[in-house]
Chains A and B, each alone.
Chain A
Amino acid sequence: AQRVTQPEKLLSVFKGAPVELKCNYSYSGSPELFWYVQYSRQRLQLLLRHISRESIKGFTADLNKGETSFHLKKPFAQEEDSAMYYCALSREAGTALIFGKGTTLSVSS
């Protein structure tokens, strides 16, 4: 069965510390993976997708098919990174996504 697991409900770090939000997936084919972010009082929006291999707001995520992971990383957290982060997997047929349960990132000074 297709599944996305985000093991941490809450991740609290200090400003300037490295951040890693974990995401593991279960998928039989070639997965398409995404990270979405929701800042306070804002709508959910795409942060990055694995096929783009780009860095957005200092965040990167590498698809590791051997470990079935797509962890989100940033070397130096900023207070404005505080938000809810969702890892998502594109379903086998069509465009619908499967979301993980989300991780709240809290960055304090």
Chain B
Amino acid sequence: DVKVTQSSRYLVKRTGEKVFLECVQDMDHENMFWYRQDPGLGLRLIYFSYDVKMKEKGDIPEGYSVSREKKERFSLILESASTNQTSMYLCASILGQGNEQYFGPGTRLTVT
């Protein structure tokens, strides 16, 4: 049973703070993703990674960066949090193309 875990379910940060969101998967998946989920906008891809130390920009990478030092862990970094980054953040992993993406429970981030 695939498990994707995220470090926090709820997070409250102040404007300008550096924020780290962590994601871990336990099924040796090579591909990992970060999305943000907003009402009326659906899921939008922020960054993804096909392998350790590799990263690709998604559709909305501005204001974010990522780190993948180990295969099982994919971190999303908000260098200087802003109020428009208040959102639900979802991490996902997948074995390969055409397969199911497995999602984490999400982190609801509030930036005040």
Which A residues are within 8 Å of any B CB, using their own CB?
6, 9, 32, 36, 43-46, 49, 51, 86, 90, 94-102
Contact = CB atoms under 8 A, between A and B. Distances in A.
Given A43-B105, A44-B90, A90-B97, A96 B58 contact: yes
A81 B41 CA distance: 22
A32 B42 contact: no
A102 B101 contact: no
Interface string B31-63: 101010000111111001010000010100000
A95 B96 contact: yes
A46 B2 CA distance: 13
A51 B96 CA distance: 15
12 contacts: A36-B101, A44-B90, A46-B101, A49-B100, A86-B42, A95-B94, A95-B97, A95-B99, A96-B45, A96-B48, A99-B35, A99-B42
A46 B95 CA distance: 14
Interface string B73-108: 000000000000000001010101111110111100
Contacts of A100: 42
A96 B33 CA distance: 8
Contacts of B97: 32, 90, 94-95
Contacts of A46: 100-101
